[in-house]
Amino acid sequence: MFAAQGVSNAGRLAPPRAAAIAGIVFAVLMGVSLVLVRLAVPYQSDAGTWLTDPARRNAVRAAVQLAPFAGIAFLWFVGVLRNRLGPLEDQFFATVFLGSGLLFVASLFASAAFTGAVVEAVASGHVQLLNSDTYFLVRQLIGEFLNVFAIKMAGVFMFSTSMIAFRTRIVPRGVAVLGFLCAVVLLLVITSWPWIALLFPSWMLVISTTVLLLEFYRKAA
């Protein structure tokens, strides 16, 4: 069945539509979540004063609620793609691909969990974190999980995915090369620029849209 449905006469894998849709859903949810947080929470010189603004707290709440659904869509993308690659999957890059994907989701969830805890603790009036050492510590944990660990794992995931795509030709090689370049940026560039995190969902949107268009073109042909 795999040979009949997954590999064309030229030996190329037919792009999995389910993975492409999951990738697009992840890219949209992740992008919206990041934008909400970046607009609501100051990146530098943050004393926690944004927590006194109900509109900003609600924006961050919405971003936190979107994070689990983004993670689910991402895991669906990983699972479907691995299932469709089957025997063509290189064990080394498959291990890096899966491991980096799981670590990315874990770091994303940890960052979202800490963020949600801070918002709800202050909003309920049980904890006074403004201008406190506790708030600074929690804020640093949130930043490290998202801007360092999640972003670096995203870079590794992009590199391994691009290598798999380059070898199996599930997308044009130009898209795979773009993934290599984006991965280098995320892995080597200092993450002091808060908007650099959007590079990952943007790339996911590009590769997923490409896969989906190729699938429709293949069926039409």
Tokens representing 56 are 């900003």
Q: What angle (nearest 5°) sits at the alpha carbon of residue 160, between those of residues 218 and 24?
A: 50
Contacts of 183 (CB under 8 A, 6+ apart): 155, 156, 158, 159, 162
What is the C-alpha to C-alpha distance for residues 98 and 93, in angstroms, rounded to an integer? Answer: 8
Q: What angle (nearest 5°) sits at the alpha carbon of residue 25, between those of residues 24 and 27?
A: 65
Taking Cα atoms as reference points, which of 112, 106, 29, 111 lies closest to residue 73?
Answer: 29
Percent of residues in the chain assigned helix, strand, coil, to nearest 5: 80, 0, 20
User: What digits encode the pLDDT tens for the residues 35-94?
Assistant: 999 888 876 656 677 788 889 889 999 999 999 999 999 999 998 887 766 666 667 777
Which position has the higher pLDDT, 31 or 140? Answer: 31
Q: What is the pLDDT of residue 11?
A: 42
User: What digits encode the pLDDT tens for the residues 112-161?
Assistant: 999 998 888 877 776 665 557 777 888 888 888 988 899 999 999 999 98
Q: Which residues face 7 on adjacent strands?
A: 13
What is the C-alpha to C-alpha distance for residues 201 and 133, in angstroms, rounded to an integer? Answer: 33
Segments making up each domain of the chain, as ranges: 13-215
User: What digits encode the pLDDT tens for the residues 83-110?
Assistant: 766 666 667 777 888 899 999 999 999 9
What's phi and psi for 132, nearest 5 deg?
A: -110, 160
Q: What is the pLDDT of residue 24?
A: 94
pTM here is: 0.83
Contacts of 37 (CB under 8 A, 6+ apart): 59, 60, 63, 115
